[in-house]
Structure 1
Amino acid sequence: MTSNKVMVFVEIVGDTTPTMKKLNLENNLFNIRKELRKSTNDMNILLFVKKVGHKNAKIELEDENDILLNDIIFDNSGSKFLYLLKNSSPSWNYLNDKCKLDYGRIMSFDGIKEASNKAFKLKDCEFNLNGAEKYKKGQLEFKSEEDWMMKTNLFFGIDINVQNFIGFGLSIGKSKNENLKDEINSTYKYTEIGKATLKFSKVNLGLTNDFENDIKDAIASKESRQFFEIIEKYGQFIPTEVILGGRVYFKGVKSSSVKSESKSKEVSLNASIKSSNIKIGGNSSDLKSKSDFYSFDHMRLLGGNHPEDENFDEKVWIESLKDYQTWDCIEFKNPVSIFQLLPDDLYKETFKAIGKRILYKNIEEYDYYLFKPGRYRTVELRNIPKKISNIILNDDADCDIFAAVVDPDETSKKVFFNCQILKKPNAKPNIIIHGIQKEFEECKYRLKIGIMIIGYDIDFNFIHSNVSVELIKSVYNSKKPNMTLPFEDELISTNTPFLGIPVLNSITYLNSSIAIGHNFRKSDNKLDIETFPYCLKTNDYVNLPKFTFCTIIIKDCPNEAYQLFKLCLSQKEPGISEFNDPNPQYISLYSSDVNSCLPVFINQKSKKLYIGHICKNCKICTKSPKSQKSVIECILFNPDMI
């Protein structure tokens, strides 16, 4: 309380001007330090000392909880003095505050940017001075735009997370400097002095109230745009390992026939340090650029001091780095999304509120041998990246697989190919492919298979995308074979693509030779899912044991990724359409005719699409008039265009 406080003269050793402060002599030094931070700059680099004759006895930070202010007060004729001394060794607290290590960051074309708002407070870390210092010389070159952004944002190692954050930086940094190509063709010789490393993890970070409230508001809104705004405010990631010290660059240029002679000459190491303030890239009101990679005509300085307008003197610069107050960040490692650093409950609520995304897409080629009726081909997901494979096996991601198949041989019209997904518990899904023939013939094909993986973006690598995916699972029951979805009119009128695929939890003798076709049909203001289990051994439609039908709805799909065209077909004539892309297309068949019931399959042959039915004599086909013609609409989705 105020009544327990007395006037104390606070003096920094070496500073002739003390300040006056009312302090409680019975408080420990840890609490006194918190009080002094309110009025004393750089309290993190100052230690308490006790006067012992003409000497000063330093008090280590870890002992401050056990020592009272009254124990170290110096009484001079009734006046009470508290002495502080600059610490000769840096503390991690000081370096964290100086370099804002617990602030979020975003990569950009004009250097890494710090967020203006703080998402976390660093509580502790692994801080290493011993062995961190090293003298290093080298040369920096750039292989591509992405490589240039990575290195100019102080990431030099190989890390897949860095690649994801680069993609975000590229997506928002549209206003590139016209000299970027010249910069990519440049080289930089550098000298580096590493002084300290700091490492920390999720357990070392405490959530700020403002960040927590903004996260909860965004979750409640269910608007993915709000999470993008959070990134603009708090940054996208925090590097969890930082090297501090100094680095100096000297710019040169790779030899090139298109460059002028003046550009192709390498700059002398006696370059002037005069600034030219060259900048590239976009700006953000909530983000501050930490450093512009070309802040000087031919040289850039990170950490340390050097007089301006003088030729570079390496000895002077190295000497300046003995003062830890001159250190700067010279390399970042192991960046982690700010959302992944949230407490577990908020982390899960966040990626669920953002919604599912297309996490991976690719086209692969496989051989298909059809030497026996009913035989199927299992395609294992062996070629997908390890990171995606791990996400598939992570229950939190709740992934599903969609697939499409193309036979590049346009002459083989007698074979249809059909995809299903086999999803066993605790295992990666497989793709099941059936070859459908009216009359069996042995054959071999080289098929193209499109693979698309849908799930929650648990690593937040696709948060910049406006396209989200809603996934609906319906359980097939032979007693009630038709499954129904709402909002038919809404999907068609807004050009919203929707796709479906059957998912089995096992392959048995009951279903191994059954290809499951499907289409969508209007039913009032709803969407009926009609499935057609076709047995390749008996060549007719049969009942099928229970399976799950997955439907995905692609929301906010760009126009260039969506096509809608119609085909006329009957029992006698197949519908045919042509398009430009020979790769597998993700296609749904939709009929607005409530009386339509023709069971049809999709058959893509290179750049042609055939829609037809296989069986004409089963009970499904014979109940329709022979002359019946139907108009069926084809909804085509191209994930490469989003």
Structure 2
Amino acid sequence: MDIVRNFAKNVLGPVNKISIHIDNKTPVTYDKLDPQSTLKEVREKLSNSEEQIRIYEYMNFVGPYGIILRNQENYELLRENLQDGYILKIERPIDPNINETTHRCKLNYGIRMTEDGPKNLNEMAFEFPKDITQSVKMRKFCAEHEFKGTCTSKHENFLRKNLVAEGKISIATPSDLSFGFIISGGNQTDDTYNTQFSSEYNIRLFSKYEVEIDIKKVQPTEIFIQEVNSALESDNTINELKKVCEKFGEYIASKVKIGGRLHKIEYYNMSSMSRQISTKKSVSMNIGSNLVGSMKSCYNIVNGHNVSSSTSNGETYTHFYGGDENKFKEDNIALWQDSLDDYTTWQVIEYTDLTPIFEILNLELRRRILEAMGQKVLYSKIDSVDVVMSLSKFSYEHELSIPSKLSHIDLKECQIFASVMNATNKNKSKVFSTRIILYTSNNSASVVLHRIHKRSKKSKGFKKNNDKVFSLQIGWVIIGIPSDFKYEDCNFRIIDSKEYAPHNDHQINIYDQFQKNYSILVACTQQAPKQSTIHPTDSMLVTDVHFSCLNDSQLKACFFIYDLETEKLHKENFEGKFNDLFIHCSIISITQGNYLKLNREKKILDRFNNKSTVFYNAHKKSLWTCHEPTFVSLFHENCPDCSAGFVNLAPNYLIFNSLGNVHECLQISYFSAPLSPI
């Protein structure tokens, strides 16, 4: 051995270029190594080099006499361990290593979703602990899956191109900070780029391993924290937070599959079409730019390889991830598939779980970001109830079932809105008022219904000593500040949400810059128990609010009280009647807007022969169904010369119980909230 070393020292002399040979890969020439360096020094240099020559902790140098142990590297010179033609050999174990896998797949970087596929960012948002096994788990998952089908939804196509797992096509994101797409819901105009969209997809997954990251055990980088703090302290917080997302990503891949993926999409039926407007109520997703109408001829994707694309109708999108790109042939993938036996060719092929990137920050920073983003719809639901009322009983209390995921939220910090809907078209002449009751002692809530009636007709429809059953649907939503970023955001935005106390002047200034594409949610809310002479269910006093918009921008609310017993309407001097009642009002901006006029339906009015109950026909518009919580607010041009009353919904109709003059036309704004997942 001494003879070999002396020969290397005395004969080889200085070496300018060394070929680094890792396993059976093609050698890479490198000229930045000093032959007099120890192997420990060489390891330190190569561990920070480019991927082709990077050495990881688990790799070993191979000298003339075999593998060199790590504890010997400080005593071994590079020049003593060069082999045939100045080659430095490095060997790796057969099974993949966690450190190399996370680095190669860039799992410690954030992700942005784009119409061209997922983008890995170059700024690290978080770091793994020194012992990476504390936060990252890998398990063997060798399987081959194939997914075929037809896609007519752009958001599904978008998510598939971004490697989101089948069955998890709906993911949550705060759209206020989203760049690649926004989740949308409510009432949306479907006029996307004037093109029809349809595609056939064929996805083949060659899974090798599954990697899971425990987000609770990673730490945000200092630069990420600094930039978030700077954004929160700026005058335009939302725009600055968007820049943070643009730099660090929107998501963290908390669970992925790695291996190889072949992804083929064939687009067809993409001819121009006339503008068609339809109302969509379910949660859907809008892509941030024209996906189909202007397909790019190349895809700037960090991982994966684009095979073909075109800008003509009937184009094909073919893309593969992982494997040896030199062995890929679209008509024969056998060699490429065999190359997946080499784990150094694996890439992320499926995102099974994605976590919004701000979730890794501490509690205080998360709270500040969520507050800056404003209130959201936290929950929405429809309850079908059979309301039983006797001849002398005109109130009914329905307890709201608050989901467990909101159990930690103080309902006093939220706003709850409710609406009565009649899905069966029965009892259409009966109208109910709503009032929200917040029970502060146990953080619960109820909706109290009062049947609006005229005293002279209150026995109509009842038999003596018999109860009357009304089959109703109660739609309700909770609005507040989310506690995390995992919520479904929509294409509407809550721009103002406040609490008001009624005073002797029945009109209340609500908003100075009201626009016709805004909708309003309003609720009369009472807190209990408190010192009050009026019990929510025993009281014969009912309340409601309608609106007027002065000078086309100044929004005012008109609050009134109606006494069911005396049949008297009160629009002022409320002192002593409701000391514990508040008006909650949320103004929602919607892309299309839902402000319109409805005409009185005389045929239905004549059939019921009830002058106080008026039906306004929405049949031709198909404005709402009873499958989503829908809320209607009344508008009058002039207050106090307004017609106070109560509104309920039925399929294709609005039912209005007027306490004054009946109008031929009714002005309303309405809002339909997407149902929360069960």
Q: Normalising to structure 1: TM-score of the pair?
A: 0.69
CA distance in structure 2 between the partners assigned to 1:605 and 1:16 by the alignment: 74
Cα offset for 1:353? Answer: 0.7
Cα offset for 1:435? Answer: 0.8
Q: Deviations over 1:130-157 (max 9, x none)?
A: x505243555445764655555543335
Cα offset for 1:448? Answer: 3.8
| Structure 2 match to 1:132 | 140
Give the AA of the match of 2:454. K
Pick one of 521, 524, 530 that aligns with 1:499.
Answer: 521
Compared CA separation, residues 58 and 320, structure 1 to 2 (3 A): farther
Compared CA separation, residues 381 and 510, structure 1 to 2 (3 A): closer
CA distance in structure 1 between the partners assigned to 2:419 and 2:480 by the alignment: 18
The root-mean-square deviation of aligned C-alpha atoms, in Å, is: 5.5
| Structure 2 match to 1:181 | 198
**Contact 2:35/2:78, CA 8 A, preserved across alignment:** no
Q: Deviations over 1:401-437 (max 9, x none)?
A: 2122245788968643101112334545332221121
- The answer to whether structure 1 residue 551 and structure 2 residue 570 are counterparts is no
Give the AA of the match of 1:57. I
Compared CA separation, residues 550 and 9, structure 1 to 2 (3 A): farther
What's the secondary structure of 2:593's corresponding residue? helix
| Structure 2 match to 1:587 | 632
1:512-531 equivalent positions in 2, closer than 5 A = 512-514=537-539, 515-520=542-547, 531=559
1:572-611 equivalent positions in 2, closer than 5 A = 578-580=616-618, 581=623, 586-589=631-634, 600-602=645-647, 607-610=653-656
Give the AA of the match of 1:104. G
CA distance in structure 2 between the partners assigned to 1:193 and 1:41 by the alignment: 24
Give the AA of the match of 1:347. R
What's the secondary structure of 2:451's corresponding residue? strand
Structure of higher RCO (CA pairs closer than 8 Å, 6+ residues apart): 2
| Structure 2 match to 1:352 | 371
Give the AA of the match of 2:327. P
**Contact 1:561/1:639, CA 8 A, preserved across alignment:** no
Cα offset for 1:472? Answer: 0.8
| Structure 2 match to 1:417 | 432
- The answer to whether structure 1 residue 473 and structure 2 residue 499 are counterparts is yes
CA distance in structure 2 between the partners assigned to 1:318 and 1:286 by the alignment: 23
What's the secondary structure of 2:377's corresponding residue? strand
**Contact 1:132/1:196, CA 8 A, preserved across alignment:** yes
| Structure 2 match to 1:312 | 332
Cα offset for 1:328? Answer: 1.4
Q: Deviations over 1:240-262 (max 9, x none)?
A: 01222234579999xxxxxxxxx
Give the AA of the match of 2:104. K
What's the secondary structure of 2:361's corresponding residue? coil
Give the AA of the match of 2:594. A
Pick one of 81, 101, 107 that aligns with 2:107.
Answer: 101
CA distance in structure 1 between the partners assigned to 2:595 and 2:421 by the alignment: 19
| Structure 2 match to 1:435 | 451
Compared CA separation, residues 176 and 73, structure 1 to 2 (3 A): farther
| Structure 2 match to 1:490 | 513
| Structure 2 match to 1:342 | 361
| Structure 2 match to 1:154 | 163
What's the secondary structure of 2:350's corresponding residue? strand
**Contact 1:150/1:162, CA 8 A, preserved across alignment:** no
CA distance in structure 2 between the partners assigned to 1:609 and 1:252 by the alignment: 49
| Structure 2 match to 1:455 | 480
**Contact 1:469/1:552, CA 8 A, preserved across alignment:** no
Give the AA of the match of 2:418. A
**Contact 1:599/1:613, CA 8 A, preserved across alignment:** yes
1:65-84 equivalent positions in 2, closer than 5 A = 70-71=74-75, 73=77
**Contact 1:499/1:588, CA 8 A, preserved across alignment:** yes
Compared CA separation, residues 136 and 512, structure 1 to 2 (3 A): same
CA distance in structure 2 between the partners assigned to 1:381 and 1:24 by the alignment: 77
Cα offset for 1:327? Answer: 1.0
Pick one of 92, 112, 116 that aligns with 2:118.
Answer: 112
| Structure 1 match to 2:273 | none
Give the AA of the match of 1:639. S
CA distance in structure 2 between the partners assigned to 1:310 and 1:471 by the alignment: 56
Compared CA separation, residues 502 and 194, structure 1 to 2 (3 A): same
**Contact 1:475/1:549, CA 8 A, preserved across alignment:** yes
| Structure 1 match to 2:7 | none
1:171-570 equivalent positions in 2, closer than 5 A = 181-184=198-201, 187=202, 190=204, 192-195=206-209, 197-207=211-221, 209=223, 212-213=226-227, 216-217=230-231, 220-222=234-236, 224=238, 227-228=241-242, 230-248=244-262, 288=301, 290-291=303-304, 301-305=320-324, 307-309=327-329, 312=332, 314=334, 316-317=335-336, 319-361=338-380, 365-381=384-400, 390-391=405-406, 393-395=408-410, 398-407=413-422, 415-425=430-440, 427-439=443-455, 440-441=458-459, 442=462, 443-457=468-482, 458-459=484-485, 461-462=487-488, 465=491, 467-475=493-501, 480=503, 486=509, 488-491=511-514, 496-506=518-528, 510-514=535-539, 515-520=542-547, 531-536=559-564, 543-563=576-596
Cα offset for 1:374? Answer: 4.0
CA distance in structure 1 between the partners assigned to 2:156 and 2:500 by the alignment: 45
What's the secondary structure of 1:434's corresponding residue? strand
CA distance in structure 2 between the partners assigned to 1:208 and 1:535 by the alignment: 62
CA distance in structure 2 between the partners assigned to 1:307 and 1:495 by the alignment: 55
Cα offset for 1:204? Answer: 1.4
**Contact 1:165/1:461, CA 8 A, preserved across alignment:** yes
Compared CA separation, residues 291 and 379, structure 1 to 2 (3 A): farther
Q: Deviations over 1:221-275 (max 9, x none)?
A: 456455555545543322201222234579999xxxxxxxxxxxxxxxxxxxxxx
CA distance in structure 2 between the partners assigned to 1:559 and 1:227 by the alignment: 26
Cα offset for 1:639? Answer: 3.4
- The answer to whether structure 1 residue 43 and structure 2 residue 54 are counterparts is yes
CA distance in structure 2 between the partners assigned to 1:35 and 1:120 by the alignment: 23
Q: Normalising to structure 2: TM-score of the pair?
A: 0.66
CA distance in structure 2 between the partners assigned to 1:32 and 1:212 by the alignment: 32
Compared CA separation, residues 178 and 69, structure 1 to 2 (3 A): farther
Pick one of 88, 94, 97 that aligns with 1:91.
Answer: 97
CA distance in structure 1 between the partners assigned to 2:300 and 2:585 by the alignment: 36
| Structure 2 match to 1:619 | none
What's the secondary structure of 2:327's corresponding residue? coil
Compared CA separation, residues 324 and 533, structure 1 to 2 (3 A): same
CA distance in structure 2 between the partners assigned to 1:291 and 1:39 by the alignment: 18
CA distance in structure 1 between the partners assigned to 2:635 and 2:224 by the alignment: 48
**Contact 1:50/1:73, CA 8 A, preserved across alignment:** no
Structure 1, 208-217 or 593-602: larger mean CA deviation: 593-602
**Contact 1:404/1:419, CA 8 A, preserved across alignment:** yes
CA distance in structure 1 between the partners assigned to 2:392 and 2:36 by the alignment: 91
CA distance in structure 2 between the partners assigned to 1:411 and 1:148 by the alignment: 42
CA distance in structure 1 between the partners assigned to 2:379 and 2:294 by the alignment: 29
Give the AA of the match of 2:478. I
What's the secondary structure of 1:556's corresponding residue? strand
Cα offset for 1:160? Answer: 7.9
Compared CA separation, residues 233 and 74, structure 1 to 2 (3 A): closer
**Contact 1:134/1:194, CA 8 A, preserved across alignment:** yes
Give the AA of the match of 2:659. H
Cα offset for 1:68? Answer: 10
CA distance in structure 2 between the partners assigned to 1:222 and 1:151 by the alignment: 34
Pick one of 658, 663, 667 that aligns with 1:612.
Answer: 658
CA distance in structure 2 between the partners assigned to 1:449 and 1:226 by the alignment: 40
Instruction: Give unpaired runs (5+ residues) of structure 1.
Output: 1-6, 60-66, 254-277, 615-627
CA distance in structure 1 between the partners assigned to 2:512 and 2:613 by the alignment: 24
Cα offset for 1:398? Answer: 4.7
Cα offset for 1:219? Answer: 6.4
Cα offset for 1:203? Answer: 2.7
**Contact 2:306/2:320, CA 8 A, preserved across alignment:** no
Q: Deviations over 1:558-583 (max 9, x none)?
A: 3432237899xxxx986967341465
CA distance in structure 2 between the partners assigned to 1:511 and 1:486 by the alignment: 27
Give the AA of the match of 1:134. C
Give the AA of the match of 1:434. H
Cα offset for 1:352? Answer: 1.1
**Contact 1:48/1:58, CA 8 A, preserved across alignment:** no
CA distance in structure 1 between the partners assigned to 2:635 and 2:174 by the alignment: 39
